[in-house]
Amino acid sequence: MIKPQLKEVKPDCKMYRDLKKVVGNRKLNAGNVKNLYISMEKHPDVQRAAPIVICKNPKTGKWEIVDGQHRYKALLMLGHHIWVLIVDYDLSKMIGVINSNGKNWTLLDYANYYSENGNKNYQKFLDLLEANPVTAGILIGISQNSTTRDCQNGGNRNFKDGKLKINKNNLHHIEDTLYKLRQIEYASCNPPLTKSTVRRKEFSEAFLHMFEKERSWYDHNEFLRKLSNSNHKFNTLANRCHMIQEILRIMEK
């Protein structure tokens, strides 16, 4: 493993415009680039304190950005010198871990990163997410057999660290739960559920809570039947507690 090396890259250097992002790194956000451009235009020396982390891909021989692609784009626009920290290529595989404590990466960014690096669990996660009207946080909760998204130990920690598991042990539960949520959308007609309501995490959490009661007093088929013949207020409700109260009202509990 090579020792990290700090280096200044000038505009006339070949490396200056040839840096590429590591496979799986998040897509550029134009708003982030604009904000960095304005900031570094006023304070050009700040970039030296936060160099762009790069590595050399042994397969392609290309220099790749491990961390700092937004800063890199802004610096190119400014034409400023760039400070880079050259690290071993193996560290590029830890980009998800490097950003796990940051606020900039979304759950979808992590899913795309691990998926693009060949993790089949995250590939399946993205397929399920695309096919169902739930948020990433809710789908993580379902995969963990939880009624809410994981908010302990930093929030979705295992997911961010690449430890998501979707296999024969939980796939049936995940698909069955998602099917039940879709049934609710199809059964509602007075009025039809809006897309924004269906995707609201509070809506999903309320029904995940109900599904836990299926072995005692909640009957999903009975709820669907009563929902199809009832007026509901889900589209006007904002929190989980009120959603649960509405479910109980429809079931006449």
| Tens-binned pLDDT, residue by residue, of the chain (253 aa) | 667 888 888 988 888 888 887 666 667 888 888 888 888 888 877 777 788 888 888 888 888 888 888 888 998 899 988 999 888 887 766 665 555 555 567 888 889 888 988 999 999 999 999 999 999 999 999 998 876 665 554 457 788 888 899 999 999 999 999 999 999 999 998 999 999 999 999 999 999 999 999 888 999 999 999 999 999 999 999 999 999 999 999 999 8
Same-domain check for residues 240 and 212: yes
Same-domain check for residues 135 and 245: yes
Number of domains in the chain: 2
210 Cβ partners below 8 Å, 6+ apart? 218, 220, 223, 244, 247
Give the span between the Cα atoms of 154 and 175, in whole angstroms.
Answer: 27
Q: pTM for the whole thing?
A: 0.64
Same-domain check for residues 54 and 158: no
Same-domain check for residues 124 and 82: no
Same-domain check for residues 89 and 16: yes
Q: Rounded to an integer, what is the distance from CA 126 to the centroid of its chain?
A: 10
Give the span between the Cα atoms of 172 and 72, in whole angstroms.
Answer: 44
Same-domain check for residues 46 and 133: no
Contact 126, 112 (CB under 8 A): yes
Edge-first strand listing for the sheet containing 82-86: 5-9, 82-86, 52-56, 63-67, 20-21
Same-domain check for residues 213 and 135: yes
Q: What is the CATH number of the domain that holds 69?
A: 3.90.1530.10
Contact 75, 48 (CB under 8 A): no
Only one residue has tokens 């550029």, namely 28
**Which residues span the domain enclosing 173?**
107-250
Radius of gyration, alpha carbons of the chain: 23
Q: Reduce the DSSP state of residue 167 to 3 states and report it.
A: coil
Same-domain check for residues 23 and 78: yes
98, 131, 164: which is the final residue of a domain?
Answer: 98
70, 98, 126: which is the final residue of a domain?
Answer: 98
User: Is the link from the previous residue into 58 a cis peptide, with omega within 30 of 0?
Assistant: no
Residue 9 phi/psi, 5-degree rounding, is -115, 120
Same-domain check for residues 128 and 76: no
Amino acid at 234: F
Q: Which two tokens stand for residue 17?
A: 């415009």
Same-domain check for residues 141 and 231: yes
